Chains A and B, each alone.
Chain A
Amino acid sequence: MREFSYNDIYFLLDATQYTVWLSLASLFLGSVVGIGICLLRLSNSKLIGAIAATIVAIGQGVPPLVLLFLAYFGLAFAGIVVSPFMASCIALSFFAAVYLGEIWRSAIQSIPIAQWEASESLSLSWAQQMIYVIVPQAIRLATPSSVGFIVQLVKNTSLASIVGLVELTRAGQLVNNATFQAFQVFLTVAIIYFCICYPISLISRFLEKKTAH
């Protein structure tokens, strides 16, 4: 047993990079899949819309932790050996895709239908309507909540510690196992998370105020 010292804080900060990488990777993948889910939900076909709605219901009705277990054990079940990082990335990407997809869908649907009609009367194709008329307006509406969601995503990367990825929370557990000073260790871990998440929350709130005016 030893004291909680600067070396441990350095170790925690070193592990934080995995938290950051995991967040960025799942944010990127989740955005790509989220665009897909958003478009599927906007589809005119009832069947495709229903399938997308089911995917969203599953993603929002199952805890991220269970999604992570499913990705970790499910891929092993299918005979694919995945690293904890890969499994966490897949689960968190799905989690992000479902929530971001819903944020973006509601932003697009809140654009007045007259905008679609006006752009259609200018004989723009569907893709042109989307790219030049709808999306630029929807982005302004969706940005504050999308940025706010990044905080949720960063916080949920702590779940990766459960399947053994040595990110910030897991590093905290390792330090705690050596020092037995759980209060100081996990408080430090919480402060590091706060330093990552709070600026993102502030940006989200700033954008919200800006859009409201």
Chain B
Amino acid sequence: MYFMQFGWLWQNYDTLLYGALTTILLTIGACAAGSAIGIIVGLCRHRGNLLLRTCGAAYVEAIRNTPLLVQAFIIYFGLSSVGFRLDPLPAALVALVINCGAYSAEIFRAGFQSIPPAQKEAAESLALSKIQTFVYVILPQALRNIWVPLSGQFILIMLASSIVSQISAEELTAAASQIQSQTFRSFEVYVVLAALYLALSIVLKTVLVRMGIFFFPEQRILRRSAKRARSRGR
């Protein structure tokens, strides 16, 4: 009879912690840069000319319809085979940023579309420039409307970052695989790994919800009154 053994954990916890830290940093970097790309591409698709709209759509569709694993292979192995070498971690970050950019572009586009045109007209009548209108009027409201789906996307990016272990980027999954190959306790290692990812995703979700409450306090009031109106309707 074989029992699960976790003795290896005490000798290797620093490897796991270091991997978890890398995963967290990769996620933050990918979400920040990915959102920036998402805002630009979302704007191109929302209000660009035909060329910008087509390019934006091509980017979004190409990324959303191919696996991240293959994208990472193209960026890491593919680019180095045509003479453009990236180290594993930068390559992983680039792959995640491009991936996150395509998904968040769609979310941001929906956000921009959800803003009534009257908002833009009102800002114009206050003599705000185009950039001021976007930064002070459109973007904050759009961000508030899409905060929930955007948070979900960030969590998915954190989970997807496990895939870059396959181009030998030293994040959490790679750390676990390394421990596994040294200790041969494969099942125990992967159970711990799953628990760590679960904990990370719960923490990330809590942080994002808190951020939503902090930045958009009015959203809660709106949602509560909508709920009350619905229950009254019944």
Contacts and interface: CB of A to CB of B under 8 A. Distances in A.
Interface residues of A, number: 43
A65 B162 contact: yes
Contact of A158 (B67, B81, B173, B194): B67
Interface stretch (A39-47, A82-90, A136-144, A190-198): A190-198
A81 to B, nearest CB: 14
Interface in B35-87: 61-62, 64-71, 73-74, 77-82
B163 A61 contact: no
A109 interface: no
Given A77-B187, A183-B79, A62 B197 contact: yes
A51 B65 CA distance: 33
Interface string B111-129: 0000000000000000000
Interface string A98-138: 00000000000000011000000000000000000000000
B221 interface: no
Contacts of A70: 187, 190-191, 194
Contacts of B159: 61-64
A190 B66 contact: yes
Nearest to B65: A197
B76 to A, nearest CB: 8
Given A57-B198, A186-B74, A66 B69 contact: no
B22 interface: no
Contact of A190 (B74, B173, B194): B74
Given A66-B197, A151-B64, A176 B77 contact: yes
A113 B230 CA distance: 11
Chain A interface secondary structure, helix, strand, loop or mixed?
Answer: helix
A190 B71 contact: yes
A21 interface: no
A159 B69 contact: yes
Contacts of B78: 182-183, 185-187
A169 B160 CA distance: 17
Contacts of B71: 190
Interface string A177-188: 000111101110
Contacts of B89: none
Given A63-B173, A161-B69, A182 B81 contact: yes
Contacts of B232: none
Given A74-B190, A161-B69, A197-B65, A182 B162 contact: no
A158 B70 contact: yes
Given A151-B64, A182-B80, A186-B73, A61 B193 contact: no
30 contacts: A57-B198, A58-B198, A60-B201, A61-B198, A62-B159, A63-B160, A63-B162, A63-B173, A65-B163, A65-B165, A65-B173, A70-B191, A74-B191, A77-B187, A151-B64, A151-B65, A155-B65, A155-B66, A182-B74, A186-B74, A189-B70, A189-B73, A190-B71, A190-B74, A194-B62, A194-B66, A197-B65, A197-B66, A198-B61, A201-B61
List the 8 shortest-distance A-B pairs measured between CB atoms, nearest first: A182-B77, A183-B78, A197-B65, A158-B67, A63-B162, A77-B187, A61-B201, A73-B186
